[in-house]
Every structure is written in C-alpha cells, then in structure tokens.
A and B are shown apart, each in its own frame.
Chain A
Amino acid sequence: MSAGGRDGLGDLFAIAARELRTVVRTPAVVALSVVFALTVVAVAAAGSGARGGYVPLVLDLVPFVEALVPLLAVALCYRAVLSDRESGELDVLRTFDVSRPAYVGGVYLGRGLALVFVVFGSLLAAGATVPVLSPPDPTFLALNEAADSPVAFLRFSVLAVLFALAVAAVALAVSAAARTARQAIALAVGLLVAFVVGVDAAAVAGLASGSLGIDAVPLVLAASPNGAFRSLVLGVAVETGGSTSPGAALAGLVGWVAVALAVAVLTAWRPVE
C-alpha cells in the first residue's frame, strides 16, 4: 500500500458504485430481473396463495424463489471478477493500491444491493396482491390474526434476501477463482445444480440407505443455501412448529457468505509483496 492511498472503505464504495452502474447498464441482467419480478407477481396473482392469505402465498412462492433466486444471483455475479481480470482492469486497479478485501467487498456490495432491490422489491409487490385478492373475512368465524399476517410475509422476504446474498457470495467466489469463462460457467452451473437438487437428493439417498438418521436431515439440509433457506422459511417465517432450531440453518447461510467471500478475496489475485 502506498502511503498516499485512500482508505479501504472509500475504495470499496467506489468499486460498489461502479458495479451498481454496470448492473443497471447490462440489458441481460435487467431483463432477467424483470422476468423474476413478473414471475413472482404472476405466481401470487394466478395461484390460490394470495387469495388465502400471506402464509399460503409464502408456501406457493418457496419453490419458485428456491429456483429463480439462485439463477438471478449467479447471473449477476458469476463473471464479475473474471471480466475485470480478462480486460486487464484487475491489474490496473492493483497499481492504484486497491486491496483485495476492498475490491471483493465493493463488487459484492454493489451487485448485492442490486440483487436485494430486485428480490425484495419483487416479493413486496407479490405480497401487495394479498389484500387485493383475498376475500373479505367471514363474519361468522373467529380468526386468529397472528396465524396469518404481513409480518410472516416480511420475514419470508428478508430470508429470501439472505438466501440471495449467500448464493451471490458463492457466485462471486466462482468468478474470482475461475480463470476462463468456460470454467466460470461450468462451476456456476455445477453449484446451481448442487444447491437446487443435489443436497436434497443426497439427503433422500442418505435416508433411503439408512446411512443418515432422521435427526441428521436438518443439518444436511442446512449445508446448502437452498436447504437452509427452506428450513428457515418453515421454521421462522411461517412457524410450522418444527422441533428443529433455525440456528443451524442460519449458521449455514452465514457460513456460505463468509467462506465464499474469503475464497473470493484469496483467489482474486496473488499479492506481489
């Protein structure tokens, strides 16, 4: 680091601002974001969930969010570092004494903000259909307001954001570790398949073969962002009363973020000194 270099936080914000501007100017990413938003709102409007209330809507949306959020996160991040490496900008940034944590943190912050905006905004739009589509409460029934409330949907939306950020961190690690576009695509697709179906399939196979006890299933599911997200939704957002603590699932998501960002920092470039 040069004596005259700016502080790392300033560098991080400068990188983040450029990433945000880049995302907004990338037509493919904007189109994918619009498709995501339309899909989520369409599921709410066309399915029975929104007519039944917030919790039924959450249950309707979970499989779509589990499949589409990783797709969106990976599309946003899987080439972020790689494209700077291919253009030579990574080398030039190093001559400005930008540190690896500031660079990776900036890319993650900028792209993460865009992701949060799209995911949270889309889900809020879907949630807004509930009061419009739900039939008026029948007057002859005594309803427990706590069983179905916007708070449950809000918790679900926040968990979806956490899930998105975890997958984005993994995609960022892919973009930092990959040396070619082909490597990046192969790694990204492999991870997507592993997250969306791989860990669930492994849990089922473990149960079927007897090598996994039923008590171990929540821990295995917590090992993948998808499984952890689903556990948290069922345990925290809609409170199904499961006996398992959400701690393992939350630790799983946070662990993915921490490990993936560490991998991204270590593989972005090799320090000269």
Chain B
Amino acid sequence: MADRESAEPATDEPTTMSNPEPTTTAETDSDESTGESAAAAAADRPAIAATDLSHAFGDVRVLDGVSLSVAPGEIVALVGPNGSGKSTLLRFLARVRAPDEGTVTIGASDGRARVGYLPQQPGFRAGFSATDTLEFYAQFVDDHVDVADVLERVGLADAADRRVDALSGGMTRLLGLGRALVGDPAVVVLDEPASGLDPGMVERLFDIVSDLADAGVAVVLSSHNLGPVERTADRVVVLDGGRFVADGDPRAVVESVGAADLQTAFGDLVATEEVTGR
C-alpha cells in the first residue's frame, strides 16, 4: 500500500485506477458527464460532497485523500474488501465521525440537511416496539411523520407492534432503514443494508433504494451483494487500500477490466492481499 500511496498524488483528482481505462472520476460536480446520472449532477449542486478525506487508526491509514460527490437522485454503491474503510467513509458522510483531514458538505438546497444513516449493525433500545422506536425518532424532525407508512415502506407493517429485541437480524436491519428514512432526508447513507436479508428481501431493499432515488434522494450504500448493486446503482465506487480504484457506471467498470460481471471485475480490481492483514 505504501508503494501505491507514494506513486499517487495526494489530491482529489481521479482516484487510483488499477484499470487502464478509468470510467469516470470521483468528482462529478465539475467534470464532464460520463454516466446517465451525471447530467443531473451537472445541472444541480451535489447533495453531498466529501473532499480529500484522509484518516488513520494508529499506524493504519484507512483513507487517503478520497473525494466523492453525489447528486440528488443518484445511487452510489461503495464496494471493497472487508476492512477497506467503507464503514469509516460512510460514518464521515453521515457526519457522525470527523476525518483526520478533509471536509463533508451537505447540499441541502431544500433545507433537508439531515443525513439518514443506517449503521452496519443497527441497534435499538430493548423493550420498545418497532412503532415506539420510530415514533421516538420522529420527535426530532419538524414534519409530521407517518410511522405506519415508514414501516410499510420497509416491509415491517406486520411487525409494527413487535418488540425490537424480538425482531430477526434482517428485520432489525429493515427497522434501521426505516429509522434512516424518518423525516425524508435528502441524503441517505446505508452501511451494508442487505446484510442478513434473504434474496427476496434483498430485491425489496434495492427496490426501496430505487424509489428513494426516483424521489430525488441521494443514496450512498455499501454492499457485498454485487448482483443487485450492478442492476440498481448509478455509480459503483471500488475502495481498496484507502483509495478509489474504480469509479463509474457499473457497466463501464465491468468493461474496463474486460470482466463478465461486477463480481468478476471486483476480483480483478482489488488487491485483496493488501487488506487481509488489516
């Protein structure tokens, strides 16, 4: 990783590309459009923009000058091996942690500055029902929140009165998604939202994500479910060794390494040996 770092300029210019034909850059707010959603990005200010994020845990540098901007209505999927810094980057985007260096700016042209956030392991206070839990969070937003509608959107209408400690792992994650959607934030950050869900629920989850994007919400998610990511995301950003090694339309990313699908391309793009010890 040290070699790669020393070889790359520490700027927010196009991130490290292990493939010879970069599909696009991490900066979509000023360069020419390359993806379908980039047109919207050019026409509008980014919903969220991270600039030159760097962070280290002790001696381990997890992010190294990473920049990313996401347009309203755009779905950006962050993929990378375990330990590559995805969750750390998402925490910075959700503004629950501060990076050592760099800034995160929320567009909030319509005043919706809250970032909806689904942590990797969502937790809830035991003893309360799913409805109680969302009603609690609904108190912190100005607008009236139809909690029953939120539960319906995430497929938990039948579990509305169930105690959160009696929910399955997948249902807990869906409740976490519902909590992230309380107050209709303009930006939603989802850390492995599909983890622990059965295939049907994974499809349902990505449908929800598509609906959010159609409603103009900027979505940044991390996922190891590369099939649905390839079908749903407007952009795929591959994080490895603290840098973006690919960034662009899923089809373009796949074609850039001559792979058949994103799963195969992922294997070609990441230097897994660099992260196994992390």
**A interface, CB within 8 angstroms of B:** 2-6, 10-11, 14, 18, 21-22, 25-26, 83-84, 86-89, 91-98, 270-273
B112 at the interface (CB under 8 A from A): yes
B142 at the interface (CB under 8 A from A): yes
B143-154 interface code vs A (CB 8 A; 1 in, 0 out):
100000000000
Contact A3 B114 (CB under 8 A): no
B64-75 interface code vs A (CB 8 A; 1 in, 0 out):
000000000000
In the bound complex, what is the Cα–Cα distance between A91 and B111 (angstroms)?
21
In the bound complex, what is the Cα–Cα distance between A93 and B111 (angstroms)?
19
Given A92-B119, A272-B95, A98 contacting B140 (CB threshold 8 A): yes
A26 shortest CB reach to chain B, Å = 8
* B117 interface neighbour in A4, A5, A11, A91, Cβ under 8 Å: A91
Residue from B96, B112, B141 whose CB has the most chain A CB atoms within 10 Å: B96
Contacts of B14 in A (CB 8 A): none
A98 shortest CB reach to chain B, Å = 6
19 more contacts with CB within 8 A, not counting A4-B142, A6-B140, are: A2-B111, A4-B143, A5-B142, A10-B139, A21-B127, A22-B125, A25-B127, A84-B125, A87-B123, A88-B119, A88-B121, A91-B119, A92-B179, A94-B96, A95-B95, A96-B114, A96-B137, A96-B182, A273-B95
Contact B127 A91 (CB under 8 A): no
Interface residues of B in 190-221 (CB under 8 A from A): none
Interface residues of B in 145-168 (CB under 8 A from A): none
Given A91-B96, A98-B140, A86 contacting B111 (CB threshold 8 A): no
Contacts of A97 in B (CB 8 A): 113-114, 140
Closest to B117 in A: A95
In the bound complex, what is the Cα–Cα distance between A86 and B140 (angstroms)?
21
Residue from A14, A86, A98 whose CB has the most chain B CB atoms within 10 Å: A14
Contact A95 B136 (CB under 8 A): no
* A4 interface neighbour in B95, B112, B179, B180, Cβ under 8 Å: B112
9 A-B pairs with the lowest CB-CB distances in the bound complex, closest first:
A87-B123, A96-B140, A2-B113, A14-B139, A25-B127, A91-B96, A88-B119, A272-B98, A95-B117
Given A5-B140, A92-B119, A87 contacting B114 (CB threshold 8 A): no
Contact B123 A86 (CB under 8 A): yes
In the bound complex, what is the Cα–Cα distance between A237 and B176 (angstroms)?
51
* B115 interface neighbour in A18, A95, A98, Cβ under 8 Å: A95
Given A4-B113, A96-B114, A272 contacting B127 (CB threshold 8 A): no
Contacts of B121 in A (CB 8 A): 88
* B123 interface neighbour in A5, A11, A89, A96, Cβ under 8 Å: A89
B82-109 interface code vs A (CB 8 A; 1 in, 0 out):
0000000001001111100000000010
Contacts of A272 in B (CB 8 A): 95-98
Closest to A87 in B: B123
Residue from A6, A14, A18, A92 whose CB has the most chain B CB atoms within 10 Å: A92
A14 shortest CB reach to chain B, Å = 4
Question: What total of chain B residues lie within 8 Å of the partner, measured CB to CB?
Answer: 33
Task: Please list 21 pairs of residues, one from A and one from B, whose beta carbons are closer than 8 Å in the complex, sorted by A's number.
Answer: A4-B111, A6-B140, A10-B139, A11-B140, A18-B136, A21-B127, A25-B127, A26-B127, A87-B123, A88-B119, A91-B117, A92-B117, A92-B119, A92-B137, A92-B180, A95-B94, A96-B183, A97-B113, A98-B140, A270-B98, A273-B95
In the bound complex, what is the Cα–Cα distance between A152 and B134 (angstroms)?
47
B142 shortest CB reach to chain A, Å = 5
In the bound complex, what is the Cα–Cα distance between A3 and B127 (angstroms)?
33
Contacts of A91 in B (CB 8 A): 91, 94, 96, 117, 119
In the bound complex, what is the Cα–Cα distance between A40 and B128 (angstroms)?
32
B228 at the interface (CB under 8 A from A): no
* B114 interface neighbour in A84, A95, A273, Cβ under 8 Å: A95
B122 at the interface (CB under 8 A from A): yes
In the bound complex, what is the Cα–Cα distance between A5 and B140 (angstroms)?
7
Given A87-B124, A89-B123, A6 contacting B141 (CB threshold 8 A): yes
B116 at the interface (CB under 8 A from A): yes
In the bound complex, what is the Cα–Cα distance between A89 and B175 (angstroms)?
13
Contacts of A92 in B (CB 8 A): 96, 117, 119, 122, 137, 179-180
A175 shortest CB reach to chain B, Å = 14
In the bound complex, what is the Cα–Cα distance between A87 and B172 (angstroms)?
12
Given A88-B121, A88-B123, A272-B95, A95 contacting B116 (CB threshold 8 A): yes
Contact B122 A96 (CB under 8 A): no
B207 shortest CB reach to chain A, Å = 23
A22 shortest CB reach to chain B, Å = 6
In the bound complex, what is the Cα–Cα distance between A93 and B119 (angstroms)?
12
B104 shortest CB reach to chain A, Å = 8
Contact A14 B142 (CB under 8 A): no
